[in-house]
Amino acid sequence: MTALTLSTAGASGLRADAIVVGVAQGPKGPVVAPGAGAVDKAYDGKLADVLETLGASGAEGEATKLPAPSGFKAPLVLAVGLGAAPEKGAGYGAEALRRAAGVASRALAGAKKAAFALPLDQAADAAAVGEGALLGAYSFDAYKENGAAASRRGSAPLAEVVLLGGKPRDRAYKAAVERAVAVAEELNRARDLINMPPNDLNPAAFAALAQDAAKANGLKVQVLDEKALAKGGYGGILGVGAGSASAPRLVKLSYSHSKAKKHLALVGKGITYDSGGISLKPAGHNETMKCDMSGAAAVFAAVVAAARLGLEVNVTGWLALAENMPSGSATRPGDVLRMFSGKTVEVLNTDAEGRLVLADALWAASQEKPDAIVDVATLTGAMVLALGSRTFGVMANDDAFRAAITVAAEEVGEESWPMPLPQHLRKGMDSPVADIANMGERMGGGLVAGLFLREFIGDGITWAHLDIAGPAFNEQGPYGYTPKGGTGSSVRTLVRLAELTAAGDLG
Ligand code: BES
Ligand code: MN
Ligand code: ZN
C-alpha cells in the first residue's frame, strides 16, 4: 500500500525520485499551477515555456517528464495536466486534482518516493490529491509470477507520496488526509476482490475475507451458509447458487456507533462468476463476468471505511454471494422459486440472477427497518447501453432520495444519472404461474430490473438502486486514477451517503 503524508519541506531539499507539478491550459498556452513556485523559480520562471517546448499543453491526462533544475535533490520533475485553468479567484476542481494526481502516480510506477507540489489551497485539495495519488498507484499483481522481477521492470506501485504545500499540523488537513487514506485503501481492497479470479474468489472465500476484515475493524459479522439459507427460506440466493459446486452465502456486516441516530443498510450483488447459468452467456459475454460481485465488493469496502472513519451512524452491509453456473442441479428456465419474502418467482431466464439474490438480501435488510436501503449491482447490460461505461444509473422509490444520491456521487467525483421506474413496465413481469417473473420487456431492461427489486423492499422504507454494470469494470486503458479492470465504482458514493446519514442530511 502506498504511504501518504503531508510535509512542510521545500521542493528542492527533499530526497525523492520525482517532484510532481501541475500544468493547466491557459488562454495563451500552458500555465504552471500553484504549488510549483519553487520549481518554476529554479527554471528562472520559465517552466511554462519549457513545458510548451516539450509539447505540453496542460490537457487532462498529460504527463511530461523533465530533468529537475540544478540544486534539487530529486532528479526528475513530472508535470501533469489539470485541464482548463480556472477563472481568476477560483481554485482547481477536486476531480481535476484527483485525476492529475492519479496520472502522476501511474507515470511514476516503479519509483519509491514522489513529492507532489500540486495546488493545496484548502484541506479539500489535500483530500483530492491524496485520494487520486493513492487510487492511481493501484496495481493488481498478486497473480504475476515473480513480483520482484516485475518491480525491476518498473511496474511496482509508487511506494510513498509526500504532499507539499499543505498544513500538516492543521486539523482539517490531517483529517482530510486520514479520510483519503481510509477511503482509498478500502476502495483498492474492493478492486482487489473484483480482479481476483473466480476460481479463487468463490462465495465461501469472499465470506471468509469479510470475516477477517470484520475482526480487524471491530465489525459484527454473520455468515449464512447453504444450510442456514435453506433453513431460513432464502429461495432466491439458493436458486441462483444451485448449479455451482461452490455453495452460496449471505453475509451481514454490521458497523454501529454508540451515538448513531440513523441506520443505513447497503446491499451488494455478489455473483462471484456469472456464466448465465442454463441460459448460458455466449463467448464474448462471459470473459469479464468475474466482475459480477462488484456491488458486494463496494458495500464491503464502504462498511469497513465507515468503521475506520468512526462515522456516527449505524451501517449494515449485506453481501448476497453466489456463483451462477449451469449443471444438473442448476435452476432451469421455468422453475419457480419461493423467495425469502414469501413471494414466488418464475425464473424465465437464469441469466437474470442478480435480481434474485438481491431480492432475498433486500427483504432481509428490510426486516431491521433501517432509515434507508441502497443496493449496488452490476445488474443489466441495458444500463451499459443506456449510460455507457463510466456512468451508473440511480433508481429509487423516492425522488428526493434519488436526487440526493446523484448529488453525493458528483461531490466525490463519480458519474451517475437518475433513471425512472415506469409503472407500465411492471406488467411485462406478470407470470401465469407465480407472483412475478424474473424477466419482462427487453426495452428498458435496466428499469425492469429496478421494478423487480422494488417488490422486495419492506413497506415505507426509502430505497435506491445503483446499477453499476457500466463503470464497475474498465475494459479499456487506464485513465486518471482509474485502472484497467475492477474500478471500485460506487465505493466513494456509499461512503459519502454514510457521512450524510450520520450528519442527518439524508433519509
Ligand atoms: N451480470 C449481468 C449484467 C452485466 C452485463 C454486468 C454486462 C456487467 C456487464 C446480469 O446478470 C445479466 O446477465 N443481465 C441480463 C438480464 C436479462 C437476461 C434480463 C442482461 O442484462 O442481459
Ligand atoms: Mn446474468
Ligand atoms: Zn449477473
pTM, 2 dp: 0.98
The predicted structure's pLDDT at residue 1: 85
In the chain, the domains with their CATH numbers are 3-166 (3.40.220.10), 189-502 (3.40.630.10)
For residue 22, report the distance from its CA to the centre of ligand 3, in Å. Answer: 41
Closest C-alpha to 341, from 224, 460, 459: 459
For residue 244, report the distance from its CA to the centre of ligand 3, in Å. Answer: 14
**Cα 348 to the center of its chain, rounded Å:** 31
**pLDDT digits 0-9 by tens, 236-256:** 999 999 999 999 999 999 999
For residue 380, report the distance from its CA to the centre of ligand 2, in Å. Answer: 8
SS3 content of the chain, % helix, strand, coil (to 5): 35, 20, 40
Following DSSP, what letter does each residue of 19-44 receive, concatenated? Answer: EEEEEEEETTEEEEPTT-HHHHHHTT
Interval 215-237 mean pLDDT: 98
Question: What atom of ligand 1 comes closest to residue 472's alpha carbon?
Answer: 8
The predicted structure's pLDDT at residue 153: 61
Residue 152 has pLDDT above 70, yes or no: no
Residue of the CA atom closest to atom 19 of ligand 1: 352
Active site residue 171: no
**pLDDT digits 0-9 by tens, 375-406:** 999 999 999 999 999 999 999 999 999 999 99
Active site residue 281: yes
The predicted structure's pLDDT at residue 151: 56
Strands (E), 205-290: 220-224, 249-255, 263-274
Catalytic residue among 179, 189, 269, 355: 355
Q: For ligand 2, a single-atom ion, which residues have Cβ within 5 Å?
A: 274, 351, 353
Least confident of 136-145, 305-314, 452-461: 136-145
Pocket of ligand 1 (CB under 6 A): 274, 292, 349, 351-354, 378-382, 384, 439, 445, 469
For residue 354, report the distance from its CA to the centre of ligand 3, in Å. Answer: 5
For strand 29-32 and strand 3-7, is the pairing parallel, antiparallel, or unpaired?
unpaired
Catalytic residue among 113, 281, 338, 343: 281
pLDDT tier at 506, thresholds 50, 70, 90: confident
The predicted structure's pLDDT at residue 218: 97
**Cα 9 to the center of its chain, rounded Å:** 33
Residue 154 has pLDDT above 80, yes or no: no
The predicted structure's pLDDT at residue 155: 78
**Pocket perturbation via mutation, ligand 1, pick of 293, 353, 379, 387 by most ligand atoms within 8 A of CB:** 379
Question: What atom of ligand 1 comes closest to residue 382's alpha carbon?
Answer: 21
For residue 432, report the distance from its CA to the centre of ligand 1, in Å. Answer: 24
pLDDT tier at 145, thresholds 50, 70, 90: confident
**pLDDT digits 0-9 by tens, 399-422:** 999 999 999 999 999 999 999 999
| Residue 411, SS3 per DSSP | helix
Secondary element (H or E) of residue 7 = strand 3-7
**Pocket perturbation via mutation, ligand 1, pick of 380, 392, 429 by most ligand atoms within 8 A of CB:** 380
**pLDDT digits 0-9 by tens, 100-114:** 999 999 999 999 999
- Average pLDDT over all residues of the chain: 97
